[in-house]
Amino acid sequence: MSFYKKTLSIAALLLCTASVATANDLRSPTVEKINKTVEELMSSIPHAGVSVAILKDGQALHTLSYGYAELENKVPVTPDTVFQSGSVGKMFTALGVLLLEREGKLSLDDTLASFLPDGPEYWNRVTIGHLLSHRGGIGRIFDGEKLVEGFELQNDYTDDQLVKLFGSLPMNFEPGTKYEYSNPGYILLGIIIHKATGQFYGDFLKEHLFAPLGMTAAQVNDIWQVIPNRAQGYLVKEGRFLHDYYVSDTLSKTADGSLVFTIKDMIKWENMLASGDFLSDAEKERFYSGTTMTFPDQTIGVTKYGFGWVNDQIRGLRKVGHGGLWQGFRTYIGRFPADKFTVVVLTNTENSKAREIARAIMGLYNPQYGAFEALSDQSEAAKIKKIVDDYLADNIDRSLFAEPNSILTSSQQVQRINIEIKTTEDHNFQLVDIRKTDKSVTYTGRFTGEKDQKYLAMVEMNQAGKITNLNFQHDR
């Protein structure tokens, strides 16, 4: 497959790329090498179109476009192509809530019931902070692969109808005690913004976030509006491009990730994150990390989800980011806050490799940012695999830990990231990283769960060989 590609580079930025890379241990891959990397991943599964921004210190090093915004008429992707956000939009909803907190119009300790008093009794114990960090215990609208009875994606719903529907669902868990990713929780946050301001949440974001940041194309999705340069979303089935399923007008506008924007808009977003003009450093840190969830007397395995951001450790480096998947689009933003290095990938193919493209590009700039590969020396893999297997089977010897009471049970970790296996046997466990300091050594193993989902298991040991941390995360 041949792809249309175009590069926008600011000459002054490119002239200083070498000095930036030296100061921050970043390499300077050529555009040709980046194109080759992206196109190889695009050819591994059909992709309609891809838009990429690579940023350092809030400034675009490269803005790259590949493929087609619309296949029928072969309309090429450009930096002005409008993509749907998917769940990347959650970070904008979260920041909208934090701006309202700054203005004194709500508190993260306010309960859901204080804004929506007709809900079930347990909403008196759900806080706005719980909803932001997916700890509210709101019932599920998906039961496995099926929608709950009475909820159809093709139907339009008013806010009151959605509140009634979500309130009728059984409580998933006691609020604040667990983590489980919840789209209904973020839909409710959009309704709370409306209640607190008198504005539809999309209008609030437009006025208080998109306009001040110069995100000129960003808005809530409107399936009936003629939006210039809007991309068509596709999915690939049996090697063929298909149009994705229809979702109703109102469910295409909810606050769980129903925005549209361009790669230029996301560059403006990164401009803000890299500067201190809109948010202070303390506000940005709270935005990224949110409220840490801990269980009584247990510290190992706390959630990594902040307020609209997923926090990961990659070879000891902190990465924040989020992916999106909705209506024929898949998106990803990954950011290394300490280095102010960010890659954004927007695609209009639902089963695209947006995340993999981002990680591959990151690895071109710094191998420490890149995807994990199996170590050539697997001599210690069996030891780490046994620890992981015993832990997943709830059969771990607690004497192996430096602080035996500081351990999340296997069921708590499994619920946290939805690990569906009890052993890594026959799931391709490999050591992918060993990181040593004067005080500890951290082993990172990777294995594949159900549906080809890849997980990382990180086992940290002190000098005495006792486990000081055992954690799992998705291999993002």
pLDDT at 300 over 50: no
pLDDT at 12 over 80: no
**CATH says 10-371 is which class?**
alpha beta
The two tokens of residue 26 are: 């970043």
Candidate from 16-20, 346-350, 392-396 with smallest mean pLDDT: 16-20
Candidate from 114-128, 278-292, 417-431 with smallest mean pLDDT: 417-431
Kindly indicate the confidence band of residue 342, based on its pLDDT and cuts at 50, 70 and 90: very high
What average pLDDT score do residues 450-455 get? 76
pLDDT above 70 coverage of the chain, percent: 87
Candidate from 59-63, 106-110, 142-146 with smallest mean pLDDT: 142-146
Q: Structure pTM? A: 0.84
CA distances from 42 to 35, 69, 176, 394, 403 (A): 10, 14, 41, 40, 46
Class of residue 333 by CB neighbours under 10 A (exposed 0-12, middle 13-18, buried 19+): buried
Nearest to 287 by CA among 337, 330, 325: 337
Highest mean pLDDT among 46-55, 296-305, 414-423: 46-55
What average pLDDT score do residues 131-154 get? 84
CATH topology of domain 381-474: Nuclear Transport Factor 2; Chain: A, (3.10.450)
User: Mean pLDDT for the chain?
Assistant: 87
What average pLDDT score do residues 132-152 get? 82
250 secondary structure, DSSP code: G
- Give, for 242, the enclosing helix (H) or strand (E): strand 240-243
- Give, for 186, the enclosing helix (H) or strand (E): helix 183-197
Candidate from 41-55, 107-121, 221-235, 292-306 with smallest mean pLDDT: 292-306
Domain residue spans in the chain?
A: 10-371, 381-474
What average pLDDT score do residues 298-311 get? 70
Candidate from 118-122, 336-340, 363-367, 466-470 with smallest mean pLDDT: 466-470
What average pLDDT score do residues 434-462 get? 86
Kindly indicate the confidence band of residue 418, based on its pLDDT and cuts at 50, 70 and 90: low
* DSSP labels, 262-302: -HHHHHHHHHHHHSSSSS-HHHHHHHHH-SPP-BTTB-BT-
